[in-house]
Chains A and B, each alone.
Chain A
Amino acid sequence: MDRNLQPPPPRIFTLEPASGVPIYRQLIDQVRRLVASGHLAPGAELPSVREVSAEYTVNPTTISKAYGLLELEGLVQRNRGKPMTIAPLRRNRQALTQRLRQIESQVDSLILAARQLDLQATDLTTLIEQKMSEEK
Chain B
Amino acid sequence: MKDNADASSDFTGTTRGAPVISLSALGKVIGGKAILSNISADVEPGTIVGLLGKNGAGKTSLIDVLLGFSPPSSGSSRVFGESSFELPAAAKGRIGFVPQQDELLDSLTGAQQLALNAALHPAWDEALIARLVREWEIPLDRRIQVFSGGERQKLATLLALGHEPDLLVLDEPASSLDPIARRRFLGELLAIAESPTRTVLFSTHIVSDLERIASKVWIIRDGRLAWAGDLDTLQESVVRVTLFARDDLPAELAIDGVVSQRRDGRRMQLVVTGWQEERQREVADRWGADVTVERLGLEEIFLELHA
Contacts and interface: CB of A to CB of B under 8 A. Distances in A.
Interface of A: 1, 17-25, 50, 53-54, 56-62, 64-65, 67-69, 115, 118, 120-122, 125
B296 to A, nearest CB: 5
B250 interface: no
A92 to B, nearest CB: 19
Pairs of residues from A and B, 8 with the lowest C-beta to C-beta distance, nearest first: A68-B11, A20-B295, A120-B15, A64-B12, A17-B211, A22-B232, A20-B297, A61-B215
B43 to A, nearest CB: 13
Given A57-B187, A118-B1, A18 B208 contact: yes
Nearest to A21: B295
Contacts of A21: 235, 295
A23 B212 CA distance: 9
21 contacts: A1-B131, A18-B208, A19-B297, A20-B235, A21-B235, A21-B295, A22-B235, A50-B194, A53-B194, A54-B191, A57-B213, A58-B212, A60-B12, A60-B193, A60-B194, A62-B231, A64-B12, A64-B13, A69-B11, A121-B15, A122-B15
Nearest to A1: B131
B57 interface: no
B138 interface: no
Contacts of B14: 121-122
B190 interface: yes
Interface of A, helix, strand, loop or mixed by DSSP: helix
A57 B13 contact: no
Contacts of B215: 59, 61-62
Interface residues of B, number: 35
A3 B212 CA distance: 19
Interface string B258-290: 000000000000000000000000000000000
Contacts of A125: 13
Interface string B38-57: 00000000011000000000
Contact of B213 (A19, A24, A25, A59): A59
B214 interface: yes
B11 A64 contact: yes
B178 interface: no
Given A61-B47, A69-B11, A122-B15, 14 more contacts: A17-B212, A20-B295, A20-B298, A21-B295, A57-B183, A57-B213, A58-B212, A58-B213, A59-B213, A60-B12, A60-B190, A60-B194, A67-B11, A121-B14
Interface in B189-208: 190-191, 193-194, 207-208
B3 interface: yes
A37 to B, nearest CB: 24
B214 A59 contact: yes
B232 A65 contact: yes
Contacts of B212: 17, 56-59
B186 interface: yes
Contact of B297 (A18, A60, A115): A18
A28 to B, nearest CB: 11
Contact of A57 (B12, B190, B231): B190
Nearest to A65: B11
Interface string B162-197: 000000000000000000000100110011011000
Given A21-B235, A22-B235, A24-B232, A53 B3 contact: no
Given A20-B297, A65-B232, A115-B1, A59 B13 contact: no
B199 to A, nearest CB: 13
Nearest to B47: A61
* Candidate in A20, A22, A62 with the most chain B CB atoms within 10 angstroms: A20
Interface string B225-250: 00000011001100000000000000
